[in-house]
Amino acid sequence: MRAFLRVVFRCPYGRPAVTEQAPYAADGSPFPTTYYLTCPHAVAVVSRLEAARGVERWSALAAADGTLRASVERATGQQRELRRELAAGHVGRDEGASLELGIGGSSSPLRLKCLHAHVAFALARPGYVLGERIVAELEQLFPEEGCCSL
């Protein structure tokens, strides 16, 4: 991955499942996804939810439910703070504009763009209610029969 910093969450089999990315790649291009879901099985499970109009449904739920709305707004603030911290005063080609983006590069907290990013955020930072509820809806996030990467 072009902006990889470190592994922040491992699957039950010890393999990297969520990585932390720098706000900018070495060439200065923005990388708006701070926490990146890397487990192939988990990625496929979340992709199925997205294909079933999950982004639209969860965006509507977040807008309508005060607890979910507060959760995504709080997490968006944490995301912005984290990106500024990771950038350590550096700005890329965008002059720092992407440092103000929310989870998954969204410009508006209630317009979810990528459920993968919200699941990754929840795994990396326990207590993110919206992300944890998305995870709870999913079928088995990690395979029971063994690691899918070995």
**pLDDT > 90: what percent of the chain?**
89
pLDDT at 148: 83
Find the mean pLDDT for residues 59-69. 97
State the pLDDT confidence band at 43, using cuts at 50, 70 and 90: very high
pLDDT at 102: 93
3-state secondary structure of 98: helix
**β-strand partners of 16:** 10
State the pLDDT confidence band at 139, using cuts at 50, 70 and 90: confident
Whether pLDDT at 4 is above 70: yes
**pLDDT > 70: what percent of the chain?**
99
Mean of the per-residue pLDDT values of the chain = 95
CA–CA gap between residue 6 and residue 140 (Å, rounded): 25
pLDDT at 1: 59
Whether pLDDT at 2 is above 80: no
Question: In whole angstroms, how far apart are CA 49 and each of 19, 82, 102, 113, 146?
Answer: 21, 27, 21, 13, 22
